[in-house]
Amino acid sequence: MLALLTPGQGSQKPGFLTPWLALPGAEPRLRWWSALAGVDLVHLGTTADADEIKDTAKTQPLLTAAALLAAEHLPLYDVQVVAGHSVGELGAAAIAGALSAESAVTLAAVRGREMAAACALEPTSMAAVLGGDEAAVIEAIEAHGLYPANRNGAGQIVAAGAVERLEKFIADPPAKARVVKLAVAGAFHTPYMAPAEKALAAIAAGVTPNDPTKILLSNLDGAAVGHGRELLQRLVRQVTAPVRWDLCMRTLADIGVTAVIELPPAGTLAGLAKRALPGVEILSLNTPDDLERARDLIARHGVAVTAEPAPQFRVVVAQAAGTFQPADVAEGSEVAAGQVIGHVATRQGPVEVTAHGAGVLTEWLAHHDDPVAPGQPLARIGGHL
């Protein structure tokens, strides 16, 4: 089983898209996306310096476009799992078929502009906490009035909040931990980004998503998201919610992923995966020279996953690994949109399984105490869709 990973802000490097523009159709594609994003993605990916591409408003659409540009040169029908870190979730959603490339780039541009605007409202920042006991680190972050904005696994947690509180935290680090201030514009993935979340929600309301055709993991909790509307809600919520990349990697391990490809600009997520997923074959795809190796990896580890063929039915899937506990709902019964039809018992507690549309529960696809993996079909609902 193979997973594609799309990186987040901070992974960009000056000129990283230059070799990609030599591929047929790449430059016109970027110019089209530039028109949607309101920034010159060709310039940003080739001749812009490090300071310019550090601008949140420019970085986010640039990273989304880069992942999508590289993904177009891969046999995606054989890729089973997709996950993105922070803004990388937008590219991942498009690769999984839930958003169009145009929607993903446009939302990334709005997200970047609005988060940059939110950063300007008051002085906030972020710092990486390396090492230390995880529980003690979280406790120390919260004791200083800060937020654990990113929990990346492999002994890496990012604290975020007011600059004054962050400086006191850096001067008083948790036991056996090192704290490094990050060169970022503000406290991403915290309540300080509430204005950006509100603005993104207003634009996202006009987007019509599809249900993903691949296992698509969410930063909120590492769960697989099976329905487009829920995915869009999660993407908006993620602006102020912590990035739980540690849970995404746990899910990759739980479902038996055997190979990982990180899309450009690659390296950060590949490094985390090497520590968290021993024995998994990992490739950083940074230039077109890496495409042949990436295609070989997909050929050896990928298996085609297709969408549900009958459009009049909707399949409810598991969002986490565990054992399935169906509710007392008989096949042939009417169910309402949002009705709880069971739960998945996980190591972190029960995860509710809900019907995402009204209709008739036509068939249970999993039964009491069946072990299930994220993205596994649990029930089929038909009619009134």
Are residues 286 and 372 located together in one domain of the fold? no
Q: Which of 146, 181, 216 is the last residue of a domain?
A: 181
pLDDT value of residue 348: 81
144 and 196 part of one domain: no
- 72-76 contacts, C-beta under 8 A, 24 or more apart: 72/29, 73/23, 73/288, 73/291, 74/4, 74/261, 74/291, 74/294, 74/295, 74/298, 75/295, 75/298, 75/299, 75/302, 76/4
Q: Indicate the SS3 state at residue 49.
A: coil
Q: Which of 267, 301, 335 represents a domain boundary (last residue)?
A: 301
Which residues touch 302 (CB under 8 Å, ≥6 apart)? 1, 2, 75, 78, 79, 80, 259
CATH of the domain at 153: 3.30.70.250
| Residue corresponding to tokens 């986010």 | 60
Q: 265 and 220 in one domain?
A: yes
* H or E segment and range at residue 163: helix 163-171
> For position 307, what pLDDT does the model report?
41
Could you tell me where the DSSP H helices lie in 222-357? 228-237, 245-254, 268-276, 291-301
Same domain? 132 vs 197: no
For residue 204, is it within any domain? yes
Say whether both 341 and 287 belong to one domain. Answer: no
Say which CATH number the domain at 270 has: 3.40.366.10
Q: Which of 304, 317, 306 is nearest to 228 (CA)?
A: 317
Q: What gap in Å lies between CA 70 and CA 87, rounded to an integer?
A: 16
- Find the CATH number of the domain harbouring 368: 2.40.50.100
Determine the pLDDT at residue 280. Answer: 96
pLDDT in tens, 212-244: 999 999 999 888 888 899 999 999 999 999 999
| pLDDT confidence of residue 308 | 41
- What are the tokens at 139? 């406790």
35 and 48 belong to one structural domain:
yes
pTM (2 d.p.): 0.81
Q: Which residues does the chain have with pLDDT short of 70?
A: 304-314, 383-385
The amino acid present at 115, given as its one-letter code, is M
* 186 lies in some domain: no
Pairing of strands 156-162, 124-131: antiparallel
Domain count, the chain: 3
> Are both 213 and 288 inside the same structural domain?
yes
Catalytic residue set: 86, 189
Do 90 and 175 form a contact (C-beta atoms < 8 A)?
Answer: no
Question: Does residue 325 belong to any structural domain of this protein?
Answer: yes
20 and 88 together in one domain: yes
- Domain containing 162 equals 119-181
Domain boundary among 256, 280, 301: 301
